[in-house]
Amino acid sequence: MAPTATHDASAEDAPITYDINIPYTKKSAEEEARMMKGTPYPAYLPTWEKVWFDPLPKFDFSDPALRADPQKPTLLTENVKLVDITPRMGTMVEGIDLSTLSDTAKDELALLVSERKVVAFPAQDNFLALGPAAQQEWMNFFGKPNYQPVSGSLKGHPGFHIIHRDGNRDELLRYFSQKTTSTLWHQDVSYEAQPPGYVMLGLLQGPKTGGDTVFAATDEAYQRLSPNFRTMLDPIRAVHSSANMIAHTRAVGGLVRKDPVQSVHPLVRVHPVTGNKCIFINGEFITGFKGFKDPEFKALSDFLLNHIMTGHDFQARFKWQPGTIVIFDNRSTLHTAVVDYFDEEHGAQPRHIFRLAAMAEAPIPVMN
């Protein structure tokens, strides 16, 4: 199917974006020139290449973590230092150059990510110097690439999802005139039949303070519920859809590269590596529960999201530094960015991140 033509919407009449972190439309020539001048990584600025993607066909996936030695001797050598961000999740790793990892070390890295959920690697200048093509190939080891259906990407490298904020004062003021928070708790690309298992974020440029990312452990959130409540959740199936995101992008005149995708996934999924049961809920892509009326769906969804969002004892807040690469488990976490790095006079400070997502298995229901 050919791409649907987009239309221009004035800033005044355009709907308020539901994710303030994402640029949905191309900037003016003046704004692009300013962005080009202000970033140390101009090759990673967002572009809007008019390509079209058909639905991703079903594929076989073998998790690299299942091949790994549990002791991780190739990855965790004597020169490597691990610093846990919290007792339950999140680890900073020092002494590893991601650009030099062997396939065996990548298997062990996948296992470490499955166990600790969020793994951060500071000072990865060598990895960033590889460039987009090599970085995409590196990430393909962990699963099939996801091609971003809307918002900014890189020309010739549609697997790159570019998160870039710089200025956008008027957009921020409009957003917070209607919204009470910038947080949007979600898993990435959950609407696909085989959503991402491993996701990489790379910070190219960021504010001196602020712009953190918060992660929550959905397996721990599941365990905190009563046995009776867990039994009720186990058989529920949730409808995930990208239709709202596609409609929003078209409404603001942005480029759409793919038709809406809808999938039905278990509300509780079993992690293929750890065996843990994880609540597979988010505030962005789920439109209903099979067999539930709308008020029932809303009441249960709101309860689960509030349970996860307020569970600070099973969350990890990650403070970024430029040159840091983060790899997280998209199956056992929710995450949100925090937009707190702006003021009303000047707008947002520059925050420039790329994302690469590796598509994995279809979510495994408890009944299997």
Of the listed ranges 94-108, 278-292, 302-316, 341-355, the least confidently predicted one is 341-355
pLDDT level of residue 4 (50, 70, 90 thresholds): very low
Q: What percent of the chain has pLDDT over 90?
A: 74
> Quick one: pLDDT at residue 12?
60
Report, as an integer, the average pLDDT of 67-72: 98
pLDDT at 350 over 90: no
Report, as an integer, the average pLDDT of 24-30: 77
pLDDT averaged over the chain?
A: 92
Cβ-contact 346, 169 below 8 angstroms: yes
Tell me the per-residue pLDDT of 168-177, one tens digit each, with 9 for 90 and over. Answer: 788 888 888 8
* Domain assignments of the chain as residue spans, ordered by start: 29-361
pLDDT level of residue 7 (50, 70, 90 thresholds): very low
pLDDT at 367 over 80: yes
- Give the count of beta carbons closer than 10 Å to the beta carbon of residue 34: 14
Higher pLDDT residue, 12 or 299?
A: 299
What is the C-alpha to C-alpha distance for residues 327 and 344, in angstroms, rounded to an integer? 33
> Quick one: pLDDT at residue 116?
98
> Quick one: pLDDT at residue 345?
76
Predicted structure pTM score: 0.93
Tell me the per-residue pLDDT of 199-219, one tens digit each, with 9 for 90 and over. Answer: 999 999 988 899 999 999 999
Report, as an integer, the average pLDDT of 186-206: 96
Cβ-contact 286, 238 below 8 angstroms: yes
Class of domain 29-361: alpha beta
pLDDT level of residue 35 (50, 70, 90 thresholds): confident
Of the listed ranges 12-21, 39-48, 175-184, the least confidently predicted one is 12-21
> Quick one: pLDDT at residue 3?
42
pLDDT at 182 over 90: no
pLDDT level of residue 13 (50, 70, 90 thresholds): low
Tokens standing for residue 281 = 């809920």
> Quick one: pLDDT at residue 6?
43
pLDDT at 96 over 90: yes
Cβ-contact 241, 355 below 8 angstroms: no
Q: Which residues contact 67 (CB under 8 A, 6 or more apart)?
A: 107
pLDDT at 9 over 60: no
Tell me the per-residue pLDDT of 268-304, one tens digit each, with 9 for 90 and over. Answer: 999 999 999 999 999 999 999 999 999 999 999 999 9
> Quick one: pLDDT at residue 15?
78
pLDDT at 91 over 50: yes
Tokens standing for residue 183 = 């947080």
Amino acid at 23: P
